[in-house]
Structure 1
């Protein structure tokens, strides 16, 4: 059983290190060029799900042009509320932002989504994948950095913290279970494997350690 998690391509907001969240930003020209240079995933997937935000749908359409794309708000990034589109330098003097930086799992962005709400929403999306696994053994999800961090912390091979994972725009990682029942029981996967692309040799892990939740 294989679930591939892909982070969408680069946006202008990513380039200036702004918090995007639910902001419906398109891919930037650099993002499109990076996808073109990287090529398409070598592996094939029977079911393609995405966040319903434009940057994820554009990325999925580029990689899987001949397949149906099933978009859902369940795989959106966390909602940063009034901080959407703003950078650290624009926010660093705000008391609420400083509180969030010190406790991001218990403090919410101003008029944004709590981490608990985010987790419940993503878990609902994962349940839809479990239901779809009755028909599919290999599925892909094109989503966002925070969603991928959370899912890897919950279903990665070994127990790690949310911040121990990060993935660059336009990269992917496969979670592989030795059998479908282990996946359906929500056990941790048995293998993590980098997704290879037609224009990029495999060998460098897409995972890195960072705190750019975008």
Structure 2
């Protein structure tokens, strides 16, 4: 697999909203203490990488993550990587939202969801995929075949990008997990994308065992946490 750039997708660190089980949306929430530690840990994992370009969601939590993970780097903001527009759902508790009739559609048929006063989830997926594919093509052309670049974004946005790369319908994207400060790697080629890594947090495999959600996020056991969770 030569002749193409490699994309690293970094989710922002845990925020105060994540910790409290609140759907942040476009709210200007910041990293909490754990989120700061996660971003600082990402700095060690990303150190020394010759990143051609760093692109970010314009929201504060992504910018703050990059300030800690890649100090001295000036990222380029791209609206295509912004969090899904949850509209009237922004700022509300996930526990409360889980009782809303629309929640079941979010879980089982997200491609049909239009958030009240907000964005269609399919529109979010389309703008995010369009953004990263366009950046990837430009970076490959301008920086060469071995270029590596990074985009910092949000849980549902990254899940949508991964689903596209895997050839999955958006209705299946809730099967993907993207945790705070995790790294996902994709290489787009002329024939197909290759998903090289998903949700890599750098933690031991034992961290995957008997993993439970924090009380603030508890919904039905099989439900995905809207926004990506903490």
If the length of structure 2 is used for normalisation, what is the TM-score? 0.75
List alignment gaps of at least 5 residues for structure 1: none
Structure 1 stretches of at least 4 aligned residues deviating more than 6 Å after TM superposition: 201-206
Partner of 1:36: 40
Partner of 1:64: 70
* Larger mean Cα displacement after TM superposition, 91-100 or 124-133: 91-100
TM-fit CA distance, 1:133:
2.3
Indicate the RMSD between aligned Cα atoms, in angstroms: 3.0
List alignment gaps of at least 5 residues for structure 2: 212-221
TM-fit CA distance, 1:174:
1.7
* Larger mean Cα displacement after TM superposition, 37-46 or 119-128: 37-46
SS in 1 for 2:128: helix
Q: Deviations over 1:46-80 (max 9, x none)?
A: 21111010000111121111222111111012111
Partner of 2:14: 10
Partner of 2:140: 133
- Number of equivalenced pairs: 203
Q: How does 1:1-214 map to 2 (within 5 A)?
A: 1-37=5-41, 39-42=43-46, 44=49, 45-97=51-103, 100-126=106-132, 127-136=134-143, 137-156=147-166, 159=168, 161-176=172-187, 182=189, 185=190, 187-189=192-194, 191-192=196-197, 211-214=224-227
If the length of structure 1 is used for normalisation, what is the TM-score? 0.80
